[in-house]
Structure 1
Amino acid sequence: MENFTAINTTINELVWGWPLLVLILGSGIYLTIRTDFISFTKFGYAMKQTLFKMFKKDQVGEGEVTAFQAVSTALAAAVGTGNIAGVGTAIAIGGPGAIFWMWLAAVFGMATKFGEVVLSIEYREKTDKGHFVGGPMYYLDKGANKKWLGVLFAIFGTVATFGIGNMVQSNSVAASLKSTFDIDPIVTGIVLMIGVGLVTLGGIKKIGKVTSVLVPLMAAVYIVGGMIIIILNIELVPGAFGIIFRDAFTGTAATGGFVGSTMAMTIRFGIARGVFTNEAGLGSAPIAHAAATTDHPVRQGLWGIFEVFVDTLVLCTITALVIVMTGVWETGLDGAALTTVAFDEGMPFGGHIVTFGLVFFAFSTLLGWSYYGERCMEYLFGPKSIIIYRLIFLPLIVVGSVGGLRVIWAIADTLNGLMALPNLIGLLLLSPVIARLTKEYFGKDGIYESEQTES
């Protein structure tokens, strides 16, 4: 096991080295420019079309689920332990300054996620049974004419679901319930496995219905709890922001139980954890968006902007502020344990909010990633292979619940990077298509202009 861990750590260092980090940020900046800075200039319009229309059911266009059900499935997969444990890990290793780089990655990641969703709708296919399928494997294959890259992504995506979307989640939940309520991890794993199995058997329609209720509920509870702590300690907020911005460009000196970090570590863990939380650039979310009912790729792409905003700039920021302003980041704790102590420090029974968030965030992530894995498996081996995938995916939930967090997390990090590579290449190759569809929607006589005229 020690040799395996050492080998995986070396591979992880290579995958998440500076070339990939530059590629992720660079792709986001490039796509922001190619789309005329859509995440800035059309941010208000994006919120109007998403946040204020999330429960609208009478939508125009083709699809299996509503736009909100599709984004709920994507958010269910993205809003997971990364928002709780991932932020804690970023701060514990990279210092408070890592949050600044997480924000930066998210700001440009909005355009990346927008582009992914646009392409997923543009190149999606309808199966003989009337299901809509899409994602990087399809736009790499049909759009970029790089089938080998599509196959590569599907292989990485299938295997990655067993780490980032499975064992990492069940492990975090089991550890949290064990420490809070002394529940045996294997019991947690079995309950999670049964719950996920019952929902996923119903396909994207059942997953969409469950996540469209679960995601708003769990996000609301976590946001309200975090905001109460922030408001009760409002005088500490300016100082917390000051520490984040200062340490972003200097690294953090050793303090208390904190071992210190260099600026390079701060940047690396900020960007890496940012991608882990919102998945912009990974290519996972477009798989869910491909099933959405919409009349134009760009309209669904606006949900990609919304997705990154809620995931990182809202949820992760709340977690980060609570950790920094309470000062517990100097204790030497890590991951979910750090976040739990921070919430407990901020208000009575605050740790229970973290436990609640972990359980439901992780459960929703298991649902979303199981769907991603099924679609990747289907692309590689056909519809019948989905049964085989489920027979592997579901038992691994139990395995993850009793596994070692560090090993599982490291594997998930590595697979994150491997998924991102073919997807980012595809986004850059197809950036002219993204730009064309954006101009088509927002240009003269486009849908945007007609809506403005009507209003």
Structure 2
Amino acid sequence: MNLALLETVISNISDVVCGWPLIATVLVLGILTTIMLGGVQFKYFLDSWRFIFAPAKQTAASSDAITPFQAFINALSASIGNGSIAGMGVAMFLGGPGAAFWILIFGIFYLSIRFSEVCASCLWPQKEPGAVLGGPMSYLKRFPYIGSALAAIYCVFILFYTFIAGSAMQSNSIGIVLNQLTGAPLILIGGVLFCALLYIAFGGSKRIMMAAEAIIPFKVGIFFITVIAVLVTHYTQIIPALILIIKSGMSWQSFSGGLVGVGIQQAMSQGLIKTINATEAGVGTAGILFGATEGQDPVRNGIMSMSTAFISNYLVCFVIMLCFVATGSWNSGLQSTALFSATISTTFGWLGCWIASFLALSFGLGVAVAYIFIGKQCWMYLTKGRGITLYNLIFCFAAAAGTVGSISIVWNLVNLVNAGLIFINVLGLVYLLPHLKKALKTYTIREKRNN
């Protein structure tokens, strides 16, 4: 089987799996978690922000654990990457403005799913030498008969996703940007990136957390200044843009920037799969991060984590889509990062491509740093805490290879792995919903008593 045929086969399978099967799975899980948990995303929405801006005094439960705020920062960093920029550009090209409408709808359910996976991850943490391990693997083990197998498969999938999407793909974007800006050879950029990530990785959890805490405020701040400026300069088009988004999202024959007459399934599918790639709701990575807090108040952690899904879905992904429509660049025929660059250039002129390049660089670096930790947790689960040096080297070599290599063939494979992670995660979350409901009820009673 030649490479082109293999790519076609993977693409066709991805199109089927990431269509209605994935849409239905996420919708059913979102509805179930919303109903069973009493609308947790509405009831505790304000609390999720209060826990961020007015947090209780937090310390790591042990030297191997991280604090809930560190988990929040890294979950946010992992879910605001180049998938938010390039992914929204592709979603607009393939799904049209209607994809933005479905980002709004699905986002409601992302919050309850995020609460569920983080709360469940913190309920049953386990300790290995040098680490506290939580995440979907910790609660998938409780699934009858096949729980251990599900947990192991989940970790293998996460490691694949870590080395390809979290390392190689991010460094590929970084390499392209730095090559265009500086003219430096890709092999030199790959070498520098290898050394930088190796330094962070071998510094352990503490150094990873410090790097993430330095990167995330900077990249998020620049991003919001940029998109707010774009919307302010096109403020007269915001209402018409919202009307177009709603109309095309509810029409069975949606508008599209790249394809004429794209249907509602395409708009829904693109809105769903691209925001799942961006927000990682249902994938379980946020649970891995919060699970490393050694079970500090699982319900509170779950409530706090909802804000990460809200920020990445509504304040990043949807705002980017709104900028596309308000500026009129959505029907330019461009896609991916090129569409984002053209959009902000309507406000910043020639400076737009530089801003887009800087954001791609900082977004990619932030995701890579977060995934050093995420992948390491799953590696330690599978190896019982052994071989961390080997893991660090593989991650950094993947980053270096991604800088100089072509990775186009694995995009659809990554979508399939993403879908597989969600399908596996759904089994554990649905099975454990009664436990989550009980934990939330206990928390609610305790809070009422304390107040």
Shorter-chain TM-score: what band?
over 0.9
State the number of aligned residues. 445
Looking at structure 1, the residues matched to 294 and 217 of structure 2 have their Cα atoms a distance apart, in angstroms, of 20
Q: Which 4+ stretches in 1 moved above 6 angstroms?
A: none
| Partner of residue 134, structure 1 | 134
Deviations along 1:353-394, whole A, 9 cap, x unmatched?
222221111111111122222221221223223222222221
| Partner of residue 186, structure 1 | 187
Report the AA paired with residue 385 of structure 1: G
Instruction: Write out aligned runs for 1:204-243 (5 A).
Output: 204-243=205-244
Looking at structure 1, the residues matched to 386 and 136 of structure 2 have their Cα atoms a distance apart, in angstroms, of 21
CA gap of 1:372–1:59, structure 2 versus 1, over 3 A, is closer
| Partner of residue 47, structure 2 | 45
Deviations along 1:297-356, whole A, 9 cap, x unmatched?
011111220110111111112211221111112121111111011111122313322222
Deviations along 1:217-238, whole A, 9 cap, x unmatched?
2101111111011112111111
Looking at structure 2, the residues matched to 134 and 293 of structure 1 have their Cα atoms a distance apart, in angstroms, of 8
Report the AA paired with residue 176 of structure 1: V
Looking at structure 2, the residues matched to 322 and 383 of structure 1 have their Cα atoms a distance apart, in angstroms, of 45
Gaps of 5+ in 2: none
Work out the percentage of aligned pairs sharing the same amino acid: 27
What secondary structure, in the 3-state scheme, does the structure 1 residue paired with 2:94 have? Answer: helix
Gaps of 5+ in 1: none
Q: Is contact 1:67–1:293 with CA below 8 Å preserved after alignment?
A: no
Looking at structure 2, the residues matched to 140 and 252 of structure 1 have their Cα atoms a distance apart, in angstroms, of 39
Report the AA paired with residue 370 of structure 2: G
Q: 1:405: how far off?
A: 5.0
Looking at structure 2, the residues matched to 187 and 260 of structure 1 have their Cα atoms a distance apart, in angstroms, of 45
What secondary structure, in the 3-state scheme, does the structure 2 residue paired with 1:126 have? Answer: strand
Looking at structure 2, the residues matched to 237 and 277 of structure 1 have their Cα atoms a distance apart, in angstroms, of 24
Looking at structure 2, the residues matched to 316 and 181 of structure 1 have their Cα atoms a distance apart, in angstroms, of 29
Looking at structure 2, the residues matched to 408 and 246 of structure 1 have their Cα atoms a distance apart, in angstroms, of 34
| Partner of residue 30, structure 1 | 32
CA gap of 1:254–1:225, structure 2 versus 1, over 3 A, is closer
| Partner of residue 432, structure 2 | 430
Looking at structure 2, the residues matched to 406 and 259 of structure 1 have their Cα atoms a distance apart, in angstroms, of 25
Q: 1:263: how far off?
A: 1.3
Report the AA paired with residue 449 of structure 1: K
Instruction: Write out aligned runs for 1:73-222 (5 A).
Output: 73-129=74-130, 131-142=131-142, 146-222=147-223
Stretch of structure 1 that moved more, 325-334 or 402-411: 402-411
Answering whether residue 448 of structure 2 is matched by residue 449 of structure 1, we say: yes
What secondary structure, in the 3-state scheme, does the structure 2 residue paired with 1:132 have? Answer: strand
Q: Is contact 1:118–1:300 with CA below 8 Å preserved after alignment?
A: yes
Answering whether residue 415 of structure 2 is matched by residue 413 of structure 1, we say: yes
| Partner of residue 373, structure 1 | 375
TM-score between both structures, scaled by the size of structure 1: 0.92
Looking at structure 1, the residues matched to 95 and 176 of structure 2 have their Cα atoms a distance apart, in angstroms, of 23
Q: 1:258: how far off?
A: 5.0
| Partner of residue 307, structure 1 | 308
Looking at structure 2, the residues matched to 263 and 114 of structure 1 have their Cα atoms a distance apart, in angstroms, of 28
Q: 1:25: how far off?
A: 1.8
What is the aligned-residue RMSD (CA, Å)?
2.1
Q: 1:51: how far off?
A: 3.6
TM-score between both structures, scaled by the size of structure 2: 0.93
CA gap of 1:200–1:60, structure 2 versus 1, over 3 A, is closer
Looking at structure 2, the residues matched to 58 and 375 of structure 1 have their Cα atoms a distance apart, in angstroms, of 22
| Partner of residue 329, structure 1 | 330
CA gap of 1:341–1:179, structure 2 versus 1, over 3 A, is farther
What secondary structure, in the 3-state scheme, does the structure 1 residue paired with 2:66 have? Answer: coil
Looking at structure 2, the residues matched to 32 and 378 of structure 1 have their Cα atoms a distance apart, in angstroms, of 33
Answering whether residue 275 of structure 2 is matched by residue 274 of structure 1, we say: yes
Looking at structure 1, the residues matched to 353 and 324 of structure 2 have their Cα atoms a distance apart, in angstroms, of 12
What secondary structure, in the 3-state scheme, does the structure 2 residue paired with 1:84 have? Answer: helix
Q: 1:450: how far off?
A: 4.1
Looking at structure 2, the residues matched to 325 and 6 of structure 1 have their Cα atoms a distance apart, in angstroms, of 35
What secondary structure, in the 3-state scheme, does the structure 1 residue paired with 2:254 have? Answer: coil
Looking at structure 2, the residues matched to 450 and 189 of structure 1 have their Cα atoms a distance apart, in angstroms, of 56
Report the AA paired with residue 439 of structure 2: L
What secondary structure, in the 3-state scheme, does the structure 2 residue paired with 1:362 have? Answer: helix
Answering whether residue 343 of structure 2 is matched by residue 345 of structure 1, we say: no
Deviations along 1:242-267, whole A, 9 cap, x unmatched?
12111112243466x65452211111
Stretch of structure 1 that moved more, 11-20 or 182-191: 182-191
